[in-house]
Structure 1
């Protein structure tokens, strides 16, 4: 162990648990890799987390002083002068003596008992991160194009404020579970045709806790967790696509044994509407042009997600032809540049003509050697050609 955890957090060795947590929050905010530019920020942040876990969750400060601090002072034998393993045995003995002498608090004895159970192969008291939660969010194409701040509301489990996640009032009496003797596990031996089989399972009486309490928390019923409705603000980055997820760290279910919360994963669905089709960062749209525009060429206006642009239609354009407007598609997610907009033109044939238009088209057909059927055959052939 290369560093003194008290020095890592910058607290004295007689600091209270609340002082340790306060120092941890300050150090974590200062050295988080997303905030600090130091090359060793990530490693430093991990040491800060480790220091907080050890000093507030796994063992008490007194245990840490007895087992580890002597090593920082140069005593390689451990706290009792008989080596590291002797220190562990002495620790369990001192916990028994504390009950008779009465000089330790109940919380210290409880943490000692949990630490010794870890040595004996009992239940795992290590901090564990809570599970990740998932929810969905629907946005429109404009929000996906520009980026936006949206609110998402969900009902999620959270640590009970009344009991601080313990499941029982702070003044509840605690006793070692008589069924598992504080191990949190029970063993059963069964006789089978293959011989005696020993099975280990979670203690049904204490549910693996190793302790029994005189009363449960009135708000959470002993679970340590309640469900609450939470409304969170989430940043939508430009260019996001349907099916992609946004991660909100530490907004998931609460951890166990003092571990951190899980994360919240928000799956995004982009409603692109009826006008566009989306293919990755590219968009596709259909645009109508008239017969004279297709024949003679023209400049037409095309509406894009962020405004109207002009597009040149060359003479002789065929219905169904596609033109590419470079950089007029969707932003590339967390990259520079934009996709393209593909415009497929369709020539619109009028359902009815005035006399002047009819005469002009008849003359056009005759000039091309067409045998005109004034009753509509020419127009039917014209429509079917597109």
Structure 2
């Protein structure tokens, strides 16, 4: 896994805060040491936590994008990211150090506009309820199931609210204390020297994530995340006529929400297996029907298989190999509508390759009667009928 925080979470550099949090929850569910079999799960889990901590903090993210991964870590070790302005002074420290102005510099507002400013008093806004992440899975169907419609059971592994702590991340009897990082305010203040003067910014406390509280112990099952990875068996009604590649939505069957928010949805991608007899195009079906040479010459009524039975098809005399016929209403049902598509039957005249003596004599008689040249005006099949 790459060290770059964006790569760790698998998000683009312009990802929103919600996208970053969703990506973190996905990684947390994948690499949680209690559920993952990856020998490096704990290390990957810690990296994902660190990436989320930095990229969901506006000021830290600005600094991270400005400095790059290595220099950001160096600045963090010297206190140039979380600490006061003194930690970043001198050579190799805070890139804005050494040019301090007085606090409340007239350039402060310009700096805030240029770099996006701080969070101000909105640090506790992260406590608002948020809907959980949508999840995605797939079900595979036979054509017969699609024709009739079916209730399909499937199993999905998804993040769930931790049953041990009910999503709190800590035991119910854990002691609660004011966060020592922010003294219970849910926010921390950073003073930084910049070329435009000294700037003071307020941000959500990274330790308590804006709650202002920390607990004496974390949940032993979810390790403080409030979520675990569980297997669930669900059933979904597949409507008749659904097509390969379409998606169904099951509301409220996705990942748990944040801060009491509703669950996300489960998106179900439908895959339809290829059929041994039929090819599908929209709601129409196509079937290749082999017929004998005499039936093509003289015509016949033949039985054609359909998805739910069989249908009769009249083959006119003189039918050519490759000719196509339509049987109305024997295709797939229209999705959430009335009626069906059509069944197209392509005739393939089979040339016999193992003739008995009687058949050979009949064909030889035909060849002698018709000669080697076929009269285009009379037509090949017409000549066969006339010879018999």
The alpha-carbon deviation at position 332 of structure 1 amounts to 1.0
Structure 2 residue 241 is matched with structure 1 residue 239: yes
Q: Where do residues 87-236 of structure 1 align in structure 2 (5 Å cutoff)?
A: 120-124=121-125, 125-198=127-200, 201-236=203-238
Residue number in structure 2 paired with 1:30: none
How far is the alpha carbon of 1:208 from its aligned partner?
3.6
Equivalent-residue separation in structure 2 for 1:188 and 1:151 (angstroms) = 53
What CA distance in whole angstroms lies between the structure 2 residues aligned with 1:198 and 1:321? 81
CA–CA distance in 1 between the matches of 2:192 and 2:293? 89
2:124 aligns to what SS in structure 1?
coil
Deviation at 1:151, TM superposition (A): 1.1
SS in structure 1 opposite 2:147? helix
Q: Residue by residue, what CA displacement relative to the aligned partner does 1:307-345 show, whole Å, maximum 9, x if unpaired?
A: 011111111111011111111111111111111111111
2: distance between equivalents of 1:280 and 1:189? 64
Q: CA deviation at 1:121?
A: 2.4
- Residues 371 and 282 of structure 1: is their aligned pair in 2 closer, same or farther, counting only changes over 3 Å? closer
Equivalent residues in 2 for 1:1-386 (5 A)? 120-124=121-125, 125-198=127-200, 201-370=203-372
Decide whether the 8 Å contact of 2:139 with 2:271 is kept in 1: yes
Could you tell me how far 1:212 is from its partner in structure 2? 0.4
- Tell me which moved more, 317-326 or 176-185: 176-185
Note the C-alpha offset of 1:354: 1.4
> Cα–Cα, structure 1 residues 203 and 288, in superposed 2: closer, same or farther, change >3 Å?
same
- Contact 1:250–1:261 (Cα < 8 Å) also in 2: yes
Partner of 1:356, secondary structure, is helix
Secondary structure at the residue paired with 2:243?
Answer: coil
1-side partners of 2:334 and 2:216: how far apart?
A: 59
Where relative contact order (Cα < 8 A, 6+ residues apart) is larger, the structure is 2
Query: Using a 3 Å threshold, how does the CA distance of structure 1 residues 258 and 363 change in structure 2: closer, same or farther?
Result: same
1:47-70 Cα deviation digits (max 9, x unpaired)? xxxxxxxxxxxxxxxxxxxxxxxx
Judge conservation of contact 1:122–1:183 (CA < 8 Å) in 2: no
Contact 2:162 2:227 survives alignment (8 Å)? yes
Relative distance call for 1:369 and 1:261 in structure 2 (3 A) is same
Separation in 2, partners of 1:344, 1:205: 70
TM-score, normalised on structure 1?
Answer: 0.62
Following TM superposition, by how much is the alpha carbon of 1:218 offset from its aligned partner in structure 2, in angstroms?
Answer: 1.9
Note the C-alpha offset of 1:122: 2.5
* Alpha carbons of structure 1 residues 226 and 318: separation in structure 2 relative to 1, 3 Å: same
Question: What is the CA RMSD across the aligned residues, in angstroms?
Answer: 2.4
CA distance in 1, matches of 2:194, 2:369: 102
Q: Is the 8 A contact 1:325 1:341 kept in 2?
A: yes
Moved more, 214-223 or 295-304: 214-223
TM-fit CA distance, 1:146: 0.8
Q: CA deviation at 1:247?
A: 1.0
Q: What is the CA–CA distance in structure 1 between the aligned matches of 2:201 and 2:274, rounded to whole Å? A: 57
For residue 232 of structure 1, report the CA deviation from its aligned partner. 0.6
State how far apart, in whole Å, the 2-side matches of 1:185 and 1:254 are.
26
1:198 CA displacement: 4.9
- Secondary structure at 2:367's aligned position in 1? helix
Q: Deviations over 1:155-175 (max 9, x none)?
A: 111111222111112222212
Aligned residues of 1:127 and 1:258 also touching (Cα < 8 A): yes
Flag the 1:194–1:283 CA change in 2: closer, same or farther, 3 A.
farther
For 2:248 and 2:300, locate their aligned partners in 1 and report how far apart those are by CA, in whole Å. Answer: 44
Deviation at 1:238, TM superposition (A): 0.7
